[in-house]
RNA sequence: GGGUGUAUAGCUCAGUUGGUUAGAGCGCCACGUUGACAUCGUGGAGGUCAGAGGUUCAAAUCCUCUUACACCCACCA
């Protein structure tokens, strides 16, 4: 006799049991007893290290653990591999938010310190999550745990990047990104929020058409009109060029026909602004148009905006409209237009779409040697059925997405993540000095090519320059070959300089020697046209470009000093800083009265890049500042965690994995990318099956979230009801791909079941003479009920196996639940109390039942299992097999149950006294059957069987029952109702069977079945009416 | 605009390839229960399977359309 508490207290067992499992080492497949050669692997979708476990995680853990435990029980070499994801953007922004509270930004800390901070946070978060995962009972092999930012995964990431780069599948290109001028950072699409805002919508006259826009300030360099090729209104102007009066005077505009133009919207004609709209950018690439930035990173207008350069967006908009209005080009202003404004999720600043350099994975280019693109490779494996999606309908979604897939932008302007393994030669730094003062300068005469020496003042200035430059070192010093430059260089830097003719001052031609004022007045006119018999500023720009080209080839990563003249310095402003000549004149250093600021210029040397695993040798290399998209590293998850690129045993044994179980919401983000990467890198699929679960919602069907306050905390639920109950509440009643509503009462319900299971076990274990494991040879079933229940056990073994093999977890749970509570507890145990002497069968069933339940309810099953004092743990016991039984006895017992139910039913309906035992007669062809089960019927039906009894007549399956109770008037009504129903049904059946096309077309077994149904109904009707 | 799903009892959901007089759990109602379990037992009521058409001998199930809701993608000059 055992002594067990009445109520199962999950809290007092779960942690201990988990520890026992962990200590056994059986979560690690290397320690499992060898039974099958077959392996079974699931890679845990790594939770983000941003914080806490939520119900979605809990559900995913429940499904995966169910599969894992089942496969361990059937003897597979089973691995469930845990890990976590660094979730770059999400994690970084959590830490940044914390910093913001202290009024700091990441830039205040610097890259290194900030990363330290993030890493600390991630480590803490990992610990929390790990514990939470364990609370769910997850049988994960912790010895193989990985983090997407681990050193070995980093090697995998870099190796793949290099492979793709070498295969020409990764390239650097321009793309319009979401830029927040306040945060000074790009935003991912999901970081952009939308607000509806009323803003004026303008219609302008633009040459032959009228265009609409909400953003006039971006329209400076629009030179292309797009209309729909089928638009009759514009048929005549397609392909033509027009001189259009526009913001800064006349420009030439070309008309192009493209179906992208929507005839319905506005006037059906539009101009395009390549640099500030994603769509326009693509159009620009299609038609090879110039991409000119109008707005800079600070949200101000660039030099391309001419006179409005430097203004911020809002002001510029007003001004542009003003100008156009003055020119009579405003057609209409719609002040009631609601604009869908995109803003930054952090600071709510309107987002500026800006072009910038990003890294891309080319999904359409053929992979060398395979003659197929990444896209094609990834589509094929699903098309062929090599990868199976559950539910199947996601195939469609997958193909649709794949077909429309564009190149994958993999670079992110954040710090936390895998740094892009690309190195550039350091940029060339130019510090520019103008030569010291000459006598000409003092007289304010234009010197030009006249080769004059420095004045006293000039010499002094140069010597002073030397002092201020004491600490600075330059690799190369280049000067103009005119004396005033070389002399300055000599004083300031010594003799080690190179001269270059291209650095000479502009040739003023006939204006040489004239007063500076006269020359100044001519300046703007000499941008494109030369001074009389002299040179144009464009020409200076040309020779300077030439020089810069040479420098950038020769002096990569060097620091260079240039000593030359005024016009050449302005040319550098134009070439390297993107100024217009006009701006360069306006911002002349002479106007500021500053002497020798030492202008700084940078020449980027992108063309020389190195891609590899480590920093290349040599001093001048610097690594790309950007990091990789999180999904780049997680797309390698199934194999990078198994040791790839090494050809490890693990990789051979456990890859491809069997199942990828995850939410349908990340089918694209993650699942699709894993397929792309695995088929490309390993030339094999990452997994055979994709099981997609739905989202967990609250009772009203709303998404659970902290802000709504409708979230259920899984830990709290485990604390209150136990992990097993929580698991069941998410397994039963959920189907793949469909959302699941969860609420506390539901979990409570399954807690009740767990307690029921506990009490079934308690009853069996405390009433049997000896608790032991029973071999099937020793079973000795005797009565009909014994055969029946063992047969039911056979069925449930079959069905559970089938259900789990086919991912029908809900079904498995439901059927087992029914077997346990109804068949076993409510019928068989009650019968066992009557018939007695069933120790062996009860113990046998209990043992098998625990194994069957174990995948879904690991804790309680293991706790009860301990009572058997078995040498081995339940987690590695053997999945049960069916028994061989005599079929004959089994079916007849159903009839006994029906008789009992009919009696119970009649008692309840007629409101008979439940305490009283009534007399009852039962007559059937097989009277022996009744005799054999007399006691069961009497006790469970609370009747006394006599040969002849008065009372009401009942009938089940040709068995006549007369029960000695008084008929209640309500039942008469029910009876009438039943008669009407039956008559109607009989009518339907008869018509069906008479119908010739039915007998012609329906399969014979169906016809037989229908005939049988009709017969039954007729018999029943007869009993009711007699 | 393109796509995908969902709609079945008061609630939450099952319902394989068409062959049901349409199921479960919870809730509700009635009756009961001093020993495995009140976290229990027995029984019951409750449904035009969203609507309309069609295919078929036969439709909750297949097709078309409509309605409502949810989600994904694209776009918003």
Position A638 scores a pLDDT of 96
Which range is most confident: A146-160, A191-205, A780-794?
A: A146-160
Position A176 scores a pLDDT of 84
Position A497 scores a pLDDT of 93
Residue–nucleotide distance: A380 CA to B16 C1' (Å): 27
* Cα–Cα distance for residue pair A172/A606, rounded to 1 Å: 10
Q: Could you tell me if A848 and A793 are in contact, meaning their C-beta atoms sit under 8 angstroms apart?
A: yes
Whether the beta carbon of A701 falls within 7 A of nucleic chain B: the reply is yes
Strand B nucleotides, any atom under 7 Å to a protein CB:
3-6, 11-15, 19-21, 24-26, 30-33, 36-45, 56-58, 70-77
Q: Closest protein residue to B36 using CA and C1' atoms?
A: A763
Residue–nucleotide distance: A750 CA to B38 C1' (Å): 16
Residue–nucleotide distance: A850 CA to B44 C1' (Å): 34
Indicate if the pLDDT at residue A820 is higher than 60: yes
pLDDT tens track for A461-486:
889 888 888 777 889 999 999 999 99
Q: Closest protein residue to B21 using CA and C1' atoms?
A: A985
Position A530 scores a pLDDT of 93
Residue–nucleotide distance: A46 CA to B15 C1' (Å): 34
Q: What's the first-to-final CA gap in chain A, in angstroms?
A: 55
Torsion angles phi and psi, residue A609, rounded to 5: -125, 155
Protein chain A, residues 233-272, with a C-beta closer than 7 Å to any atom of nucleic acid strand B: 261-262, 264-266, 268-271
Indicate if the pLDDT at residue A595 is higher than 70: no
3-class secondary-structure state, position A595 = coil
Whether the beta carbon of A277 falls within 7 A of nucleic chain B: the reply is yes
Whether the beta carbon of A908 falls within 7 A of nucleic chain B: the reply is yes
* Cα–Cα distance for residue pair A756/A496, rounded to 1 Å: 94
Structure tokens at A306: 């001419």
Q: Which nucleotide's C1' atom has the smallest distance to the CA of A763?
A: B36
Whether the beta carbon of A836 falls within 7 A of nucleic chain B: the reply is no
Whether the beta carbon of A317 falls within 7 A of nucleic chain B: the reply is no
The four Cα atoms A745, A747, A750, A751 give a dihedral, to 10 degrees, of -100
DSSP state string for A746-777: HHHHHHHHHHHHHHHHHHHHHHSSS--PPPGG
Protein chain A, residues 623-652, with a C-beta closer than 7 Å to any atom of nucleic acid strand B: none
In A264-348 the beta strands, taken as DSSP E runs, fall at 269-271, 330-334, 338-344
Residue–nucleotide distance: A826 CA to B41 C1' (Å): 9
Indicate if the pLDDT at residue A1021 is higher than 60: yes
Q: H/E/C letters for each residue in A707-735?
A: CCCCCCCHHHHHHHHCHHHHHHHHHCCCC
Whether the beta carbon of A745 falls within 7 A of nucleic chain B: the reply is yes
Residue–nucleotide distance: A355 CA to B24 C1' (Å): 58
Q: Which nucleotide's C1' atom has the smallest distance to the CA of A818?
A: B24
Whether the beta carbon of A337 falls within 7 A of nucleic chain B: the reply is no
pLDDT tens track for A607-666:
678 999 998 887 678 899 899 998 999 999 999 999 999 999 999 999 999 999 998 888
Q: Which nucleotide's C1' atom has the smallest distance to the CA of A404?
A: B73
Nearest one of A881, A879, A883 to A791, comparing CA atoms: A883
Show the DSSP H helices in A910-1026 as ranges: 927-932, 934-941, 969-994, 996-1001, 1004-1025
Position A593 scores a pLDDT of 53
Whether the beta carbon of A733 falls within 7 A of nucleic chain B: the reply is yes
Q: Closest protein residue to B37 using CA and C1' atoms?
A: A759
Is the previous residue joined to A645 through a cis bond, with omega within 30 degrees of 0? yes
3-class secondary-structure state, position A473 = coil
Structure tokens at A444: 């304010």
Nearest one of A874, A868, A863, A926 to A899, comparing CA atoms: A926
Residue–nucleotide distance: A1023 CA to B41 C1' (Å): 30
Position A508 scores a pLDDT of 94
pLDDT greater at residue A516 or residue A378: A378
pLDDT greater at residue A715 or residue A305: A715
Q: Could you tell me if A423 and A622 are in contact, meaning their C-beta atoms sit under 8 angstroms apart?
A: yes
Residue–nucleotide distance: A132 CA to B52 C1' (Å): 52
Position A69 scores a pLDDT of 97
pLDDT tens track for A410-464:
988 889 999 999 998 878 889 999 999 999 988 989 999 999 999 999 999 889 8
Q: Closest protein residue to B58 using CA and C1' atoms?
A: A998
Q: Could you tell me if A663 and A693 are in contact, meaning their C-beta atoms sit under 8 angstroms apart?
A: yes
Q: List the Cα angle A42/A46/A47 in 5-degree steps.
A: 135
Least confident of A337-341, A430-434, A494-498, A903-907: A337-341
pLDDT tens track for A372-411:
999 999 999 998 989 999 888 888 889 888 888 888 889 8
Protein chain A, residues 522-551, with a C-beta closer than 7 Å to any atom of nucleic acid strand B: none
Position A2 scores a pLDDT of 60
Position A724 scores a pLDDT of 96
Average of pLDDT values for A977-1002? 84
Q: Which nucleotide's C1' atom has the smallest distance to the CA of A211?
A: B77
Q: Which nucleotide's C1' atom has the smallest distance to the CA of A761?
A: B36
Position A888 scores a pLDDT of 64
Whether the beta carbon of A766 falls within 7 A of nucleic chain B: the reply is yes
Whether the beta carbon of A710 falls within 7 A of nucleic chain B: the reply is no
Q: Which nucleotide's C1' atom has the smallest distance to the CA of A267?
A: B77
Indicate if the pLDDT at residue A830 is higher than 60: yes
What ipTM goes with this model?
Answer: 0.93
pLDDT greater at residue A106 or residue A157: A157
pLDDT band at A910 (very low <50, low <70, confident <90, very high): confident
Q: A367 has which bridge partners?
A: A372
pLDDT tens track for A854-896:
999 999 999 999 999 888 999 999 999 999 887 666 678 888 9
The 8-class DSSP code of residue A261 comes to S
Torsion angles phi and psi, residue A684, rounded to 5: -145, 160
pLDDT tens track for A222-273:
888 888 887 888 888 888 888 888 888 888 888 888 877 777 777 888 888 8
- Portion of chain A with pLDDT greater than 90, in percent: 46
Indicate if the pLDDT at residue A969 is higher than 80: no
Average of pLDDT values for A910-925? 84
Residue–nucleotide distance: A268 CA to B76 C1' (Å): 14
DSSP state string for A403-414: HT---EE-EES-
Position A343 scores a pLDDT of 82
Indicate if the pLDDT at residue A679 is higher than 60: yes
Position A590 scores a pLDDT of 67
Position A537 scores a pLDDT of 93
pLDDT band at A516 (very low <50, low <70, confident <90, very high): confident
Largest CA distance in chain A: 143
Q: H/E/C letters for each residue in A484-513?
A: HHHHHHHHHHCCCCEEEHHHCCCCCHHHCC
Whether the beta carbon of A396 falls within 7 A of nucleic chain B: the reply is yes
Whether the beta carbon of A999 falls within 7 A of nucleic chain B: the reply is no
Whether the beta carbon of A982 falls within 7 A of nucleic chain B: the reply is yes
Q: Could you tell me if A690 and A42 are in contact, meaning their C-beta atoms sit under 8 angstroms apart?
A: no
Average of pLDDT values for A992-1005? 86
Q: Which nucleotide's C1' atom has the smallest distance to the CA of A989?
A: B21
Structure tokens at A518: 């006269």
Residue–nucleotide distance: A10 CA to B34 C1' (Å): 27
Q: Which nucleotide's C1' atom has the smallest distance to the CA of A1003?
A: B19
Indicate if the pLDDT at residue A56 is higher than 80: yes
- Portion of chain A with pLDDT greater than 70, in percent: 97
């Amino acid at each position: 006799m055992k002594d067990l508490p009445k109520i199962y207290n999950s809290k007092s067992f779960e942690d201990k049991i988990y520890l026992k499992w962990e200590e056994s080492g059986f979560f690690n497949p290397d320690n499992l007893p060898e039974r099958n050669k077959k392996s079974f692997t699931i890679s845990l979708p790594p939770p983000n290290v941003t914080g806490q476990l939520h119900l979605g995680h809990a559900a995913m853990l429940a499904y995966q653990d169910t599969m894992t435990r089942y496969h361990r029980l059937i003897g597979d070499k089973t691995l469930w591999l845990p890990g976590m994801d660094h979730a770059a953007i999400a994690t970084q922004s959590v830490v940044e938010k914390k910093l913001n509270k202290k009024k700091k930004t990441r830039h205040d800390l610097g890259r290194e310190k900030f990363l330290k901070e993030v890493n600390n946070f991630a480590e803490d978060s990992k610990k929390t999550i790990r514990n939470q995962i364990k609370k769910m009972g997850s049988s994960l092999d912790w010895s193989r745990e990985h983090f997407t930012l681990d050193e070995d995964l980093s090697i995998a990431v870099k190796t793949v990047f290099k492979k793709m780069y070498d295969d020409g599948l990764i390239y650097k290109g321009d793309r319009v990104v979401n830029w927040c001028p306040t945060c000074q950072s790009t935003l991912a699409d999901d970081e952009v929020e939308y607000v509806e805002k009323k803003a004026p919508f303008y219609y302008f006259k633009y040459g032959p058409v009228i265009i609409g826009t909400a953003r006039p300030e971006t329209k400076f360099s629009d030179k292309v009109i797009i209309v729909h090729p089928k638009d009759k209104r514009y048929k005549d102007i397609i392909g033509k060029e027009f001189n259009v009066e526009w913001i800064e005077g006349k420009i030439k505009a070309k008309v192009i026909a493209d179906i992208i133009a929507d005839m319905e919207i506005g006037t059906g004609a539009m101009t395009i602004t390549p640099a500030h709209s994603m769509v326009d950018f693509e159009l620009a690439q299609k038609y090879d148009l110039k991409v000119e930035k109008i707005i800079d990173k600070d949200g101000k207008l660039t030099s391309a905006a001419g006179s409005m350069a430097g203004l911020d967006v809002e002001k510029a908009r007003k001004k542009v409209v003003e100008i156009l209005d003055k020119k009579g080009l405003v057609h209409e202003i719609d002040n009631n237009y609601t604009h869908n404004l995109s803003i930054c999720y952090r600071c709510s600043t309107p987002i500026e779409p800006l072009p910038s350099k990003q890294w891309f994975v080319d999904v359409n280019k053929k992979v060398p040697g395979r003659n197929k693109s990444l896209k094609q490779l990834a589509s094929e494996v699903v098309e062929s059925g090599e990868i199976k999606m559950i539910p199947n309908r996601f195939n469609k979604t997958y193909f649709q997405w794949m077909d429309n897939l564009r190149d994958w932008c993999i670079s992110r302007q954040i710090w936390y993540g895998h740094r892009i393994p690309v190195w550039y030669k350091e940029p060339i730094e130019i510090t520019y000095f103008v030569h010291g003062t000459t006598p000409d300068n003092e007289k304010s005469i234009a010197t030009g090519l006249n080769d004059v020496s420095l004045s006293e003042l000039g010499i002094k200035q140069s010597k002073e320059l030397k002092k201020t430059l004491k600490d600075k070192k330059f690799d190369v010093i280049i000067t103009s070959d005119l004396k005033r430059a070389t002399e300055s260089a000599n004083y300031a830097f010594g003799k080690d300089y190179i001269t270059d003719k291209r650095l000479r001052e502009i040739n003023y031609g006939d204006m040489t020697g004239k007063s500076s004022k006269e020359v100044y007045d001519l300046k703007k006119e000499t941008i494109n046209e030369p001074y009389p018999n002299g040179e144009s500023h464009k020409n200076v720009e040309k020779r300077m470009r030439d020089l810069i080209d040479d420098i950038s080839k020769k002096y990569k990563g060097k620091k260079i000093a240039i000593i030359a003249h005024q016009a050449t310095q302005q040319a550098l402003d134009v070439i390297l800083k993107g100024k217009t000549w006009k701006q360069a004149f306006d911002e002349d250093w002479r106007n500021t009265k500053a002497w020798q600021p030492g202008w700084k210029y940078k020449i980027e040397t992108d063309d020389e890049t190195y891609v590899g695993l480590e920093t290349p040798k040599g001093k001048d290399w610097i690594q790309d500042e950007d990091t990789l998209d999180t999904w780049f590293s997680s797309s390698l998850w199934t194999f990078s965690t198994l040791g790839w690129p090494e050809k490890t045993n693990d990789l051979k044994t456990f890859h491809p994995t069997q199942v990828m179980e995850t939410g349908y919401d990340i089918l694209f983000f993650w699942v699709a990318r894993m397929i792309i990467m695995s088929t490309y890198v390993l030339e094999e699929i990452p997994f055979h099956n994709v099981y997609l679960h739905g989202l967990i919602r609250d009772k009203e069907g709303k998404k659970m979230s902290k802000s709504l306050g409708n979230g259920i905390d899984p830990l709290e639920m485990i604390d209150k009801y136990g992990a097993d109950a929580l698991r069941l509440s998410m397994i039963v009643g959920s189907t793949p791909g469909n959302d699941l509503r969860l609420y506390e009462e539901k979990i409570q319900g399954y807690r009740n079941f767990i307690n029921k299971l506990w009490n079934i076990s308690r009853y069996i274990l405390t009433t049997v003479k000896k608790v032991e494991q029973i071999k099937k040879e020793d079973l000795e079933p005797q009565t009909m009920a014994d055969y029946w229940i063992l047969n039911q056990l056979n069925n449930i073994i079959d069905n559970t196996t089938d259900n789990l093999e086919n991912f029908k977890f809900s079904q498995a749970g439901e059927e087992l639940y029914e077997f346990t509570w109804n068949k076993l507890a409510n019928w068989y145990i009650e019968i066992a109390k009557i018939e007695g002497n069933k120790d062996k069968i009860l113990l046998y069933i209990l043992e098998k039942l625990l194994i069957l339940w174990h995948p879904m309810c690991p804790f309680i099953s293991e706790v009860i299992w301990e009572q058997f004092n078995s040498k081995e743990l339940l987690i590695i016991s053997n999945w049960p097999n069916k028994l061989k039984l005599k079929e004959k006895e089994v079916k007849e017992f159903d009839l006994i149950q029906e008789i009992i139910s009919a009696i119970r039913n009649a008692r309840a309906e007629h409101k008979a006294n439940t305490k009283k035992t009534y007399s009852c007669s039962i007559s059937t062809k097989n009277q022996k059957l009744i005799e054999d089960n007399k006691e069961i019927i009497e006790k469970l039906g609370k009747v006394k069987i006599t040969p002849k009894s008065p009372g009401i007549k009942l009938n089940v399956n040709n068995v006549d029952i007369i029960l000695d109770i008084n008929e209640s008037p309500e039942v008469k009504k029910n009876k009438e109702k039943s008669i009407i129903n039956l008559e109607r049904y009989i009518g339907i059946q008869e018509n069906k069977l008479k119908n010739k096309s039915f007998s012609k077309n329906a399969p014979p077994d169906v016809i037989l079945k229908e005939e049988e149904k009709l017969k039954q109904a007729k018999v029943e009707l007869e009993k009711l009416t007699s």
